[in-house]
C-alpha cells in the first residue's frame, strides 16, 4: 500500500503556480528540465464576472496546466497591462512564483490577513505579507502561518501579523494556536515555541 505524503501546515496543497513572461518557453523549460507535461493550454482565457479590488475588471491571459505527480503546475502569462492579482506580484517581463492552492474544508473557519504596499515610484501595489489562521475541526484550536516577502524581512511585519492573528484567536476564544516552523526558518517574535496559548 502506498503511503500518502505528510500534509504541510495541516493542508493538502494541490497546485503551485507561476506567472511567466513567455508561456511557450516556460512549458518547454518545465518539460525539458523537470519532465512535467504534457501541458493543457488555454489561450486568451475569457474570464467572466472578474473583479479586481472590488471593481469590475478585464484581463487577457493564457494558462497552461500539467500534473507533476499529485501536484498541478499552473503557468500564467498575462498579455495585457491591466492591473490584476498577477501584476500585483509579478511585473511584466518577469517570471516569478505566484501562489499555492488548497481546498478550504470549511470556509467559515479560515481567515487571511494581507498586507499591501503602495509603491510611490510606480503607482502600483504589491502584497508584502500574509497571515493565515485556520480553525482545526473538533478542537478549540487553530493553526497559523505567516509569510513575508524577502524584501520586507526584518521590518517587524511578521511579528505584527502574528500579533493580529493572536488577537483574532483571543476574540474567537481559541485555546491554542499551532504552527510548523520550517528547518532554518527564523521566527523573531516573542513566541519561540511551536504553540501559542492566547
| Distance (Å, whole) CA 124 – CA 117 | 8
pLDDT at 8: 53
pLDDT at 197: 56
Which residues have CB under 8 Å from 132's CB, separation 6+? 110, 111, 112, 113, 144, 145, 146
Is the pTM higher than 0.95? no
| Distance (Å, whole) CA 49 – CA 103 | 22
Is the confidence at residue 195, as pLDDT, over 60? no
Ordered alpha helix ranges (H), 5-156: 23-34, 85-89
Please give the residue that has the higher pLDDT: either 12 or 21.
21
Is the confidence at residue 66, as pLDDT, over 90? yes
Average pLDDT, integer, range 118-141: 81
Instruction: Name the CATH superfamily, with its identifier, for domain 105-198.
Output: Gcn5-related N-acetyltransferase (GNAT) (3.40.630.30)
pLDDT at 11: 61
pLDDT at 179: 79
pLDDT at 198: 59
- Structural domain spans, the chain: 9-103, 105-198
> Which region among 20-24, 98-102, 153-157, 162-166 has the lowest average model confidence (pLDDT)?
98-102
| Distance (Å, whole) CA 31 – CA 29 | 5
Instruction: Name the CATH superfamily, with its identifier, for domain 9-103.
Output: 2,3-Dihydroxybiphenyl 1,2-Dioxygenase, domain 1 (3.10.180.10)
Is the confidence at residue 188, as pLDDT, over 70? no
| Distance (Å, whole) CA 38 – CA 77 | 17
**DSSP label of 150:** G
State the cell numbers at 174: 481559541
Amino acid at each position: 500500500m502506498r503511503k500518502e505524503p505528510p500534509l504541510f501546515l495541516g493542508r493538502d496543497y494541490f497546485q503551485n503556480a507561476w506567472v511567466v513572461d513567455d508561456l511557450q518557453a516556460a512549458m518547454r523549460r518545465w518539460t525539458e528540465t523537470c519532465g512535467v507535461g504534457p501541458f493543457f493550454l488555454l489561450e486568451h482565457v475569457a474570464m467572466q464576472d472578474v473583479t479586481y479590488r472590488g471593481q469590475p475588471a478585464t484581463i487577457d491571459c493564457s494558462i497552461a496546466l500539467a500534473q507533476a505527480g499529485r501536484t498541478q503546475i499552473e503557468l500564467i502569462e498575462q498579455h495585457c497591462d491591466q492591473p490584476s492579482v498577477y501584476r500585483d506580484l509579478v511585473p511584466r517581463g518577469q517570471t516569478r512564483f505566484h501562489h499555492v492552492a488548497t481546498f478550504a474544508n470549511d470556509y467559515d473557519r479560515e481567515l487571511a490577513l494581507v498586507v499591501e504596499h503602495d509603491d510611490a515610484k510606480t503607482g502600483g501595489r504589491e502584497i508584502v505579507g500574509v497571515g493565515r489562521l485556520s480553525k482545526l475541526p473538533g478542537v478549540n484550536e487553530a493553526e497559523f502561518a505567516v509569510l513575508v516577502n524577502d524584501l520586507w524581512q526584518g521590518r517587524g511585519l511578521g511579528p505584527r501579523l502574528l500579533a493580529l492573528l493572536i488577537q483574532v484567536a483571543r476574540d474567537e476564544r481559541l485555546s491554542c494556536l499551532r504552527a510548523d516552523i520550517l528547518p532554518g526558518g527564523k521566527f523573531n517574535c516573542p513566541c519561540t515555541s511551536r504553540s501559542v496559548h492566547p
